A and B are shown apart, each in its own frame.
Chain A
Amino acid sequence: MKPTSAAFSDNARRALHDATLQQALAKAGVGFVEKRRAALSDLPEFAALREAGREIKDHTLANLDHYLLRFEQQVQASGGEVHWVDTPAEACAAVLDICTRAGAKRVAKGKSMVGEEIAINDALEAAGLDVVETDLGEYIIQIAHEPPSHIIAPAVHKTRQQIADLFENLHHQPDLTRPLETVPQIVDEARQILRDTFLSADVGITGANFLIAETGSTVIVTNEGNGDLSATLPRVHIVLASIEKVVPTLEDASVLLRLLARSATGQEITSYTTFFTGPRRGEDVDGPEQFHVILVDNGRSRMLGGAYHEMLRCIRCGACLNHCPVYSAVGGHAYGWVYPGPMGAVLTPLMVGLDEGRPLPNASTLCGRCEEVCPMSIPLPQLLREHRRQEFERKLAPPRSRWALAVWAFSAQRPRLYRWASRLGSLLLNKSSRGRGRFRSLPFAEGWTAARDLPAPQGDTFMAQWQRRKPHD
């Protein structure tokens, strides 16, 4: 996917004026927040759990090489294969190679954000394979030819009517009489279509929420069961996972699972939580003949031990998106790449470069709600500031704002000059407000005055008035 993050401002403006999108966002946002709140209020030990989760992740990241190697050994011991890849291109090549060797024509795909990151669908389709997304949300955006707009609810930007129209157009057959009005009818329609996919696919690709070092298992959580069907019915199961997904033990995974479901959807546990360990064994009644794990780095090992290290704790729950006032206003597509919201504003510049991703860390009031709701206590505002520091050091901001900041910085370090300049400013502004107390418009402040008045200064500065009141102070 070609990023459009550099055009964030334009993307955002378009999103704000898209009435259908606004309707979809308004409906989704409140639901997520309320469900999470309810789930947490039923779990008094959430804070302790959060602390435990953080410790598990910190410990694992500090010993990442050890746990990844242990994971590989255990996958091999259970008859599977691990493929270590660095870049998206290498990841796609590894998946394609497995598909080619298996003589695959059709791929059933479960939801995977790493899959989005490496653009696996494009690669497989370019090679002539037929790829069908089996997660309902992913299926919807696949047939709409759009990227996901949310990491756990990829089609959250679509209204029910839009989805019904999409199905109507695509599935339309002369004998189609199935009505598409209610949510169950729409779901049923997708189920009819996807059933064929599960049965006819040669390869199933899923993501992984966790990788378990002690057993070599990969874990996914879904609410539709599509992941299980994608993994067990085709002949070959390929798991796409990034390296920071590994945890030491089953016990550790269970702590993180409790945090994940509550933070993401407000569920105590998702409808399906599935552990895959190796290909089918002799005594198994079903399961794939081959089990492959593609371990993707794509910049993560460079984050280890550096300024963005803590971002590697992220378990992709989406709570920071759901609670972000900027994400809620503009939706995920405005962010212009795979990961939106606060976590995306940290990750995108790291993965596509700061030149492209520069607007994202700036598009935040640093209100801190993301950090507050993050089950992994990731200091997201501080990481956004870190990007801004890089931006400042590389002089990437527009000259006008850099100059404004420099002039301000110069005077703020010279109290006498500053007092003189601020007096001049406040007196001038006060005078030109002509007693009206506010400005409806003001040159150089159009950004402010387009939507709101600017309250005028009351008159002389506080510092000047204070000196008059206490001349000897």
Chain B
Amino acid sequence: MRVALFVTCLVDLFRPSVGFASVRLLERLGAEVVVPPEQTCCGQPAYNNGDFETARAIARQVIAAFDGFDHVVVPSGSCAGMLVRHYPELFRDEPETLARAQALAARTRELSAFLAESGGEPAIDGTFSGKVAMHDSCSARRELGIVDAPRALLGRLAGVESVELKEAETCCGFGGTFCVKYPDISARMVTDKAEAVIASGADVLVSGDLGCLMNIAGRLSRMDSRVRVYHLAELLAGMTSGPAIGEAEKP
């Protein structure tokens, strides 16, 4: 089974350990993991800012780079949603590319959904113990319908006690460029979310999307909270010995 990893631009730039955690989880499933070097970004910044032409150009690049693999796995609901839901939309009027976009969409899975579908059990060897809250990104929850998969995977970690966030369906206020276009509104939204995390009594917050995580971790850190923030993949792969998101390298 050859699996291509779509690293995502945020993981590539800010938190490579999520990429390595993803590789580890996939290799434990017996997959041969390939990282196509022609990948940059899924094109969402262009798409969501109305530059559909650039979004199409980047989508073509991704479609070409990820051709010929059994599966394409993405450690982000947002980027996976872009490939699965929006690429076909972008090529509605170009039948040939549309067919290729649909084929890519059919092979593409968000990481936790892929692990859960694959039985996942051998992959998971995290040893974390404590209270863990799972934040669903809006794209994972609403574009891809992923709610149960990450929770089921967390349930396989013996030491983990899952807690749910209040208003779990509400957006954290990241929204890509939204958070810098409307910083006041975004700040208010992420404050509400951070307060829900603190109120949940969780020791650790995880999510499948680094955008949400950087946003919430940044706010928690500004509020001097002790809640630690990791990507779900890091927890599942047992890669939580390093600093959490936004934490100092040496305490």
Contact = CB atoms under 8 A, between A and B. Distances in A.
A409 B188 contact: no
Q: Which secondary structure dominates where chain A touches chain B?
A: helix
- The interface centre, meaning the residue of A13, A405, A435 with most chain B CB atoms within 10 A of its CB, is A405
Given A329-B185, A391-B50, A412 B40 contact: yes
A418 B43 CA distance: 13
A466 B19 contact: yes
B190 A12 contact: no
B130 interface: no
Nearest to A394: B50
B219 A452 contact: yes
B94 interface: no
A437 B142 contact: no
A326 B179 contact: no
A435 B250 CA distance: 7
B184 A405 contact: no
A63 interface: no
Contacts of B185: 12, 16, 326, 329-330, 363
Nearest to B249: A435
B124 to A, nearest CB: 21
A290 to B, nearest CB: 48
B142 A455 contact: no
Interface stretch (A143-151, A195-203, A293-301, A367-375): A367-375
Range of interface residues on chain B? 35 or more
B48 interface: yes
B247 interface: yes
- The interface centre, meaning the residue of A16, A413, A451, A465 with most chain B CB atoms within 10 A of its CB, is A451
A271 to B, nearest CB: 30
Contacts of A88: none
Contacts of A455: 14-15, 214, 217-218, 221, 245-246
Contacts of B170: 325, 367, 369
Given A389-B52, A392-B51, A458-B17, A448 B183 contact: yes
A463 interface: yes
A460 B17 CA distance: 11
A446 B89 CA distance: 34
Contacts of A452: 187, 190, 215, 218-219, 221-222
A455 B231 CA distance: 13
Interface in B130-175: 138-139, 142-143, 169-171, 173-175
Given A451-B187, A452-B190, A393 B14 contact: no
A453 B49 CA distance: 25
A436 B39 CA distance: 30
Contacts of A385: 47-48, 50
B222 A388 contact: no
B103 interface: no
Contacts of B57: 413
Range of interface residues on chain A? 35 or more
Contacts of A437: 243, 246-249
B58 A412 contact: yes
Contact of A451 (B49, B171, B191): B191
Contacts of A329: 185, 188-189
Given A447-B183, A463-B35, A436 B14 contact: no
B129 interface: no
B175 A415 contact: no
A187 interface: no
A372 B12 CA distance: 32
B61 A413 contact: yes
B196 interface: no
Contacts of A462: 7, 11-12, 16, 19-20
Contacts of B198: none
Contacts of A389: 50, 52
B41 A412 contact: yes
B175 A364 contact: yes
Interface string A342-384: 0000000000000000000011111111011000000000100
A430 B175 CA distance: 24
Nearest to A435: B249
Given A325-B170, A392-B49, A436-B248, A422 B12 contact: yes
A461 interface: yes
B50 A415 contact: no
B180 interface: yes
A403 interface: no
Contacts of A12: 182, 184-185
Interface string B207-237: 0000000110111011000000000000000
Contacts of A387: 50
A408 interface: yes
B184 A367 contact: no
Contacts of B119: none
B9 interface: yes
Given A365-B178, A409-B54, A451 B183 contact: yes
Nearest to B141: A368
A-B complex: 9 closest residue pairs judged by Cβ atoms = A365-B175, A392-B50, A388-B50, A451-B187, A452-B218, A462-B16, A367-B171, A447-B183, A447-B180
Given A362-B178, A365-B176, A371-B142, 12 more contacts: A12-B182, A12-B185, A365-B173, A366-B138, A367-B175, A368-B139, A388-B50, A409-B51, A437-B249, A438-B218, A454-B218, A456-B246
Interface of A: 9, 12-13, 16, 325-326, 329-330, 362-369, 371-372, 382, 385, 387-393, 397, 401, 405, 408-409, 411-413, 415, 418-419, 422, 425-426, 435-438, 445-448, 450-463, 465-467, 473
29 contacts: A9-B182, A12-B184, A13-B184, A16-B184, A363-B181, A366-B48, A366-B178, A367-B171, A368-B138, A388-B49, A389-B50, A390-B50, A392-B51, A392-B52, A401-B49, A412-B43, A413-B58, A415-B38, A438-B246, A438-B248, A450-B183, A450-B187, A452-B190, A452-B215, A453-B222, A455-B14, A462-B7, A462-B16, A463-B12
